[in-house]
Amino acid sequence: MSAGGAFGGARGFQPRPPEKGVFPLDHFGECKSIKEQYLECLKQHGQDTEACRDVAKAYLKCRMDRNLMAKQDLRDLGFAEGDAPAPAPQPKEKKDKRRLESEGYLAGMKRFEDDP
């Protein structure tokens, strides 16, 4: 006999509400432009949220101003009042995927390479 409930669900499982409570969705698109700016920023910076902190802060402030979420001090959400803009992300080094094929590979040799 199965230990779970109908359709594989656990018996007696009680769902918990989210920590910050329930807030309404932005049905009228009041903060849609800022949300799109944030998503575009993430796309431009390779999903680096630190580079888009100022846009995220503006989005949360927009939601609070329009009662789409509970008003809360931005410091409690991880933003300081005078947050400096995030430094530009360093370009990621592109690794040559075929380097090992062209140079050859010997297991364990990285251990003996001298790193400065």
Q: State percent of the chain over pLDDT 90.
A: 28
> In the prediction, which pLDDT does 77 show?
85
43, pLDDT greater than 90: yes
Cα 41 to Cα 29, 49, 52, 53, 56, distances in angstroms: 19, 9, 6, 10, 10
| pLDDT band (50, 70, 90) for residue 83 | low
Better-predicted residue by pLDDT, 67 or 80: 67
Tokens, residue 84: 């400096």
In the predicted model, what is the mean pLDDT of residues 87-107?
59
Statement: residue 69 has pLDDT above 60: yes
Query: What percent of the chain lies above the pLDDT cut of 70?
Result: 53
